[in-house]
A and B are shown apart, each in its own frame.
Chain A
Amino acid sequence: MASSSSSSSCSSSSEKKITLKSSDGEALNVEKNVALEFEPAKGFLEDNSEEADDEAIVVPLPNVSAAVLSELIPYVKQRLELSAKPVQKKLIKAFDDQFTRHLSDDKLGELMLAANYLGVNYLLDVLCDVTADRIKNKSVEYVREFLGIQNDFTPEEEAELRAQCPWAFEGVDQD
């Protein structure tokens, strides 16, 4: 299929390439339809629509590293292909599961930030789900550690909060 890119005049925008420039200065070539999934890139391309040659456009994404982008791009690409077909939701779910299953906790955080910045809401939703799954049924201390949250309450304040909603703390591991 890749060889057909130059064959027809009505070749879709999907075959045009755009260059994205990551926060650490790397240039990544992506199909235009993938780039359009990223809000800042979409905005940039619209602002520069008079530019005749897409190939010459370099879209700066100063908040996302090349490492994260190179994880995101294949995901978005495959996800677009999946959603273009009349596939069942189950298949998309399986694809998302496969993508997130082996994400480290750190990577999960980085991807969430990137998905939020890039406005890829379907991925953000999936990542929120994974995060919720990983902190389910866990103690407050575990969740703090997991999410990298500094406890800025005084012990008295925290005790007072716990006392306000005693039912929420019933049967929870207080380690």
Chain B
Amino acid sequence: MDDSISELPDEILINVLSRLTMKEAVLASVLSIRWRYLWKFFSGCLDFDDPLTMADLKYDLGMGTEALDVERNKFTSWVNFVLRSLQCRTIEGLRICFDVVSDDDIGNWINFATERRVQKLELDFTKVQFGSRIRQYNFTSHLDSYSNFRSLTSLRLTCLDITGEAVENLLSNCPLLEVLSVNNSNCFKSLKVSGASLKLRRLELKYLSGFVDLEIDAANLISFEFFAYETTVSFVNVPNLAEVHIACTYSQYFMHNLNQFSSFLSQLRTLKLELQSVKVPEAVPYNIPILFDLKHLELTIKVNDDDCFLPCAAFLKASPSLHRLTLKLFKVEPSSGFVRTVKDHPYVSLRDLSIREVELIGFMGLSTDTEFLICLIENAKQLDKVTLYPCPPFFLGKPIELCHRDTKEYQSIRKRAVEFAANYPQLDFVIP
């Protein structure tokens, strides 16, 4: 770039830096004397996350909490050092993900976020050790003045406590809020999402113990993720809802009462259902309303015996425009010695499928999943891409995936997948 950059004023160099990650911005301090302090004016998204150390800590739990305390101190002093150094009056985003327990630090970070009028705030204090009742930071205590949070466009909280009432107040006081995610909160009872000026596009509510009542009236809502147990949900008005992801026992209720959701099922483009805790065949929905617009279906299923693919077959029949099918398979020992494949089942007749792409995550190469795959291949004339991940779904994308790749089990499943693929030279197989 010749040396034209040297003629630019600092503010533009800072503009460039703020589009990098915070680490890259700090890295730029060694470029030259002029660049040394520029990173302190970084105004982009601050990302404090240390997934590898968290994974190591989980793995090494045997060595006690001392190691955990050392890592916590290292982490908090890193965050504190950076936050103290930053001079910019506004910050685009703040993301902090680690097993942090010191209330003082957490409180200071949240205050930093509100003082700098952060737009995207994500706090994830997931614990390394899952104790019976670990006390969590109370986020609600920061909400005595909601106006502090007015600039928020995205708020994600994991393992912090917030009440449903506080969330309702946030929704009515944060006119720009588009993304809201609450994960693992203890004092969440009920929530009414409504308001004429609500911008909310994405709502995620996961593992909220004691959550009993949810009402959604959100004209702009596009995406809804709901991992819940005994909650009653009423969808009052969701004309734009296009992506739904449901897990935990609520998925059983959902499956059994599909007709109740017919108002938005026909407009969905993506549906993800985790059915590993749902009993089959009782869960098989026999009367699925037609999902006219559904393009992507993702089902998580327990592969044990008999009829585990029946829910999938039922959804396939009800989805005339489906393009992509993702199956996440959990291996469970068969309860009976006999494994009936879906092909033999009288209920199933999968003809003229519209799918073009199939992904099997946790492919095992057993008779069950292989037969079902053959069934799909034979009945989907437009199918051209098949992806087989020999790795269990809960390993995928995590550090443990790499270790798993070295195991004999992985190697032999992968070999089976490659052999299977050789039978269908007309298809594009991806076997990572």
Contact = CB atoms under 8 A, between A and B. Distances in A.
Task: Answer yes or no: do A and B interact.
Answer: yes
A81 interface: no
Interface string A96-118: 00000000011011101100100
Among A150, A167, A169, the most chain B Cβ lie within 10 Å of the Cβ of A167
A167 B24 contact: no
A148 B3 contact: yes
A112 B31 contact: no
A83 B411 CA distance: 55
B263 to A, nearest CB: 28
Contacts of A112: 4-5, 8, 12
Contacts of B36: 161
B29 A147 contact: no
A146 B30 contact: no
B35 interface: yes
Given A109-B5, A110-B4, A148-B6, A168 B32 contact: no
B2 A109 contact: yes
Interface stretch (A14-22, A26-34, A37-45, A125-133): A125-133
B9 interface: yes
A144 B31 contact: yes
B30 A128 contact: no
Nearest to B29: A161
B78 interface: yes
A135 B20 contact: yes
A162 interface: yes
Contact of B1 (A108, A136, A150, A158): A108
A140 interface: yes
B15 interface: yes
Interface in B1-38: 1-9, 12, 15-17, 19-20, 23-24, 26-36
Nearest to A114: B4
A105 B7 CA distance: 15
A124 B12 contact: yes
Interface of A: 105-106, 108-110, 112-113, 116, 124-125, 128-129, 131-133, 135-137, 140, 143-144, 146-153, 158, 161-162, 165, 167-169, 172
Contacts of B16: 128, 131-132, 135
A135 to B, nearest CB: 7
B1 A147 contact: yes
B222 to A, nearest CB: 16
Contact of A148 (B1, B28, B35, B78): B1
A113 B17 CA distance: 17
Interface residues of B, number: 30
Interface of B: 1-9, 12, 15-17, 19-20, 23-24, 26-36, 78, 81
Secondary structure dominating the interface of A: helix
B27 A172 contact: yes
Contacts of A105: 1
Contacts of A167: 23, 78
7 contacts: A113-B7, A116-B12, A135-B20, A136-B20, A144-B32, A147-B31, A149-B34
Given A151-B31, A162-B30, 20 more contacts: A105-B1, A106-B2, A106-B4, A108-B1, A109-B5, A110-B4, A112-B5, A128-B19, A129-B19, A131-B16, A136-B24, A137-B24, A143-B31, A144-B31, A147-B1, A147-B5, A148-B1, A149-B3, A149-B31, A172-B27
